[in-house]
Structure 1
Amino acid sequence: MRITGGAFRSRELRAPRGARTRPTADRVREALFSILQSRVELEGARVLDLYAGTGALGFEAMSRGAAHAVLVEKDRAALDALRENRRALGLDDTTQVLTSSVEQCEVRGPFEVVFADPPYADVRSGVAVRALERVAARLAAAYEGAPEAGTVRAIWVLEHDSKDKAPVIIGLTWSDTRVYGDTALSFFEF
């Protein structure tokens, strides 16, 4: 697994052994960031990476110009890989790692981009959807005042099984879904 673009292009990322962590495939990440390029200014952006795993999505955003990333992960093996990747890329000062479940995390925004790559079964069962709704409700306070009509405060990207439809997430407006084999990327506006 490698960073696909930006300052750290081609740098390898470590992943834990076993099937508990499912890092986003390089080709899917490359497609994701190509799509994001037309929707949001990554240069100087603040990024939130929920269910961060190895940190690949957050680190890819940093490589492409994001100013700061908060990565939330609870799995020990994934956290070890994430921290090793952060050190290897020299991102200790511009990233924050929260050792927490997404349900319990205390994050403060605002963020321009939010990534969520939960276990597919948690999306299907609704567990991840409820957690994302709680995060969206907490983050809403970080944006002063109501947005003007048509204004997008943040882009949220949910990775899920391509067999499943994009879920309804209260507080977010579904925009579109792109499918890459077994993986679907659903885009939401906040």
Structure 2
Amino acid sequence: MRIIAGTHRGTRLADVGAGDEAAHLRPTSDRVRESLFNVLQGGRFGDAVRGARVLDLFAGTGALGLEALSRGAVHATFVDNGGAAQTLIRANIAKLRRERDTRLILTSAVAIPAGQPCDLVFLDPPYGMALGHTALDAALRQGWIAPGALIVWEEARGQVAPQGLTVADQRRYGDTFVTLMRRDQAG
């Protein structure tokens, strides 16, 4: 696993091996991440990354948030309660020397404390555990998702937007569905 593009292009991230099934670590593949960021930085989304404040829920290795920083995001907050994930995220932040523009919150994404509004949100819950809607609701309630923010939800199947959000795009990459949602401007 590596950073695909930007200032840290080609940097190898901490090795997860085949993943940590007990910790539900299932890193987004380089190929899917590259395709996803091509969508986020081109076409109808303009450049949703450059200058963005990023929230990475169920952060795992932190690869999505770190890729965003490499491509011009100004800050990334990582949320994960798994010990293995926290170790990987810390190692990857240190490897890229991004301590100043990152924050790691050691809690479950469904119990996130109040925070600052973010423009870009990555939501990659463990597949099949029905945690995505609960985490998204918590992030909205706690002020993490700015009006007009783009939410990138990775799951085993496509997702339906909850009230106040609109599905903007949906793509399938093998057994992974990525649903892009936009928060209404009215908030």
Q: TM-score, normalised on structure 2?
A: 0.88
Distance 2:161 2:86 in 1: 29
Q: Aligned pair in 2 of structure 1 residues 70, 107: CA closer, same or farther (>3 Å)? A: farther
Q: Aligned pair in 2 of structure 1 residues 67, 78: CA closer, same or farther (>3 Å)? A: same
Matched, 1:113 2:120: yes
Q: TM-score, normalised on structure 1?
A: 0.86
Please provide the CA RMSD for this pair.
1.7
Shift of residue 107, structure 1, vs aligned partner: 4.1
Distance 2:113 2:77 in 1: 11
> Which deviations, in whole Å up to 9, do the C-alpha atoms of 1:34-88 show, x marking residues without a partner?
1011314422211110000000000000000111000001100111011001001
Task: Detail structure 1 runs of 4+ shifted over 3 Å in the superposition.
Answer: none
> Which deviations, in whole Å up to 9, do the C-alpha atoms of 1:64-115 show, x marking residues without a partner?
0111000001100111011001001000111000000011111422211000
Shift of residue 13, structure 1, vs aligned partner: 0.8
Question: Which residue does 1:3 correspond to in 2?
Answer: 3
Distance 1:51 1:137 in 2: 17
Q: Aligned pair in 2 of structure 1 residues 109, 171: CA closer, same or farther (>3 Å)? A: farther
Out of 78-87 and 170-179, give the one that drifted further. Answer: 170-179
From 165, 171, 182, give the equivalent of 1:178.
Answer: 171
Question: Which residue does 1:57 correspond to in 2?
Answer: 64
* Preserved CA contact (<8 Å) 1:16 1:77: no
Specify every segment of 5 or more residues in structure 2 that has no aligned partner in the other structure, as ranges. none
Question: Which residue does 1:87 correspond to in 2?
Answer: 94
Letter in 1 for 2:171: R
Percent of matched pairs sharing the same residue? 40
Q: How do 1:89-168 and structure 2 match up within 5 A?
A: 89-122=96-129, 125=130, 127-139=131-143, 153-161=148-156, 164-168=157-161
From 10, 24, 31, give the equivalent of 2:28.
Answer: 24
Say which SS state the counterpart of residue 16 (structure 2) adopts.
coil
Q: Aligned pair in 2 of structure 1 residues 59, 107: CA closer, same or farther (>3 Å)? A: farther
Letter in 2 for 1:14: A
